[in-house]
Amino acid sequence: MLKNYFKIAIAVLRRRKFFTFISLFGISFTLTILLVLTAFIDKVVGDNYPDRKRDRSLYINRLEQKGKDMSMSGALSYYFLSHYAGSMKTPVKMTIFSGFGGTNTYVNNKKIAVDYKYTDANYWDILEYDFLEGKAFTKQQVDNAEKVAVISEDIKKAYFGDVASVVGKFIEADNVKYRVIGVVKDIPITSYMTYSQIYLPYTVSKTDYKDKGYGGGYSAILLANSSADVQKMHDEYEQLVKRIPITTKGISVMYSHANSYLASYVDTGREDQSGVILVITVLGTFVFLFMLLPTLNLVNINITRIMERSSEIGVRKAFGASSKTLVYQFIVENIILTLLGGIIGIVLAFIAIQILNNANLIPNLVLSVNLMVLFIGLIICLVFGLISGVYPAWRMSKLNVVTALKAQ
């Protein structure tokens, strides 16, 4: 039966080439955009290099302070994180690190823009960077405020050129010379919590990291012994924040949370607005509207195709074909059409991703179509086929035999 439906569907598609082209174009174009978007989201929030312990990690990256006439929200101070979060019992390890900042350096009178951040020694234990040469700085080097640096692969090439090793050489940034002790694999800027081109000990920072104010430029990662302890670690931090004394005049309440990676990544900076809900709402609305237009277009095209086949439907009904059989046939035909469009869309998505990767619009961000993305693509095709086929099939089942035969 399905084989006959497939033959009929192919014959119908070949007979009406213009309608077939419009239908396939709408399906494949929509699917291509959705697949590329999905691949981008998957890379941005799904790629766990070098943060491979997310299942037992929580992230602290925001402190919001509010009063009657004022409100402040941003990253935290080194003092707040080391003094308060550092007193927690559940985490087996904690790292504190700054956001990345930009500066310029010069090589042979050529200006190079570089991004740098400050970290502690625990940073290299919690985050698993791939070292291409050398090693990370130690707690002893951090405590001694040694001017040492771990650099990324791309800044090595930009600053030193194509040389075999740069460990022991000096790199200058923000008018300070640092001795290179390690080179790590590149990270795209979209992984903003771990991205940098130069990693430095926080003790060489030009800002006063000992300042006892609560606001600053630092974040932290708490590491639990196992994923089973993550909730306990979260609850401990929630209780801890409630006990922290408020020292700023005009501030009456403070909010800070130890969140999962995704919740921290999309944090809006506002306690009354969930970043996760906001992102889901925006993406859901975009996908719904983006799919709605081609779906409505397909529905109209399918209704037109039905009207053109009314005589065929009338004859089949006259010879005993039930409405259920005809509806089933038409839905199968529509699913075949959408699957063909889906295959074309997947091929186009592969091509589009290769073009985007070669264009290097975001350095070190390499998109790929993985199995999950392909699965989502097939689901989208089936949704397309069912949504755009059900209503026209229902219209077809209501056709009167005499009316259908007269239509010819």
299-303, 327-331, 341-345 — which one is most confidently predicted on average? 341-345
- Whether residue 207 has pLDDT greater than 60: yes
Q: How many helices, marked H, and strands, marked E, lie in the chain?
A: 13, 13
161 or 387, greater pLDDT: 161
Which two three-digit tokens encode residue 6?
């497939």
The C-alpha atoms of residue 171 and residue 258 are separated, in whole angstroms, by 35
What is the tens place of the pLDDT at every residue in 265-295? Answer: 988 888 888 888 888 899 888 888 877 777 7
Residue spans per domain, the chain? 1-46+277-406, 62-258
Which two three-digit tokens encode residue 17?
């080439």
The DSSP code sequence of 129-143 is --EEEE-PPPHHHHH
Which two three-digit tokens encode residue 72?
């402040």
Q: How many CB atoms lie within 10 A of CB 122?
A: 18
Cβ partners under 8 Å of residue 205, min gap 6: 98, 118
The C-alpha atoms of residue 354 and residue 323 are separated, in whole angstroms, by 46
Mean pLDDT, the chain, rounded, equals 86
Confidence label for 253 from pLDDT (cuts 50, 70 and 90): very high
Comparing CA positions, the residue from 126, 234, 114, 231 lying closest to residue 180 is: 114
What is the tens place of the pLDDT at every residue in 38-90? Answer: 888 888 888 789 999 999 999 999 999 998 888 889 999 999 999 999 999 99
Comparing CA positions, the residue from 119, 115, 96 lying closest to residue 104 is: 115
- Whether residue 174 has pLDDT greater than 60: yes
Q: String of b and e for 363-373 (b: at least 16 CB within 10 Å)?
A: ebbebebeeeb
The C-alpha atoms of residue 132 and residue 356 are separated, in whole angstroms, by 26
What is the tens place of the pLDDT at every residue in 210-226? Answer: 899 999 999 999 999 99
Confidence label for 304 from pLDDT (cuts 50, 70 and 90): confident
Q: How many CB atoms lie within 10 A of CB 54?
A: 15
Residues of the chain above pLDDT 90, percent: 43
What is the tens place of the pLDDT at every residue in 12-42? Answer: 777 777 777 877 888 888 888 888 888 888 8
Which two three-digit tokens encode residue 284?
């859901």
The C-alpha atoms of residue 316 and residue 95 are separated, in whole angstroms, by 73
Q: String of b and e for 58-85 (b: at least 16 CB within 10 Å)?
A: bbbbbbbbbeeeeeebbbbbbbbbbebb
pTM of the model: 0.83
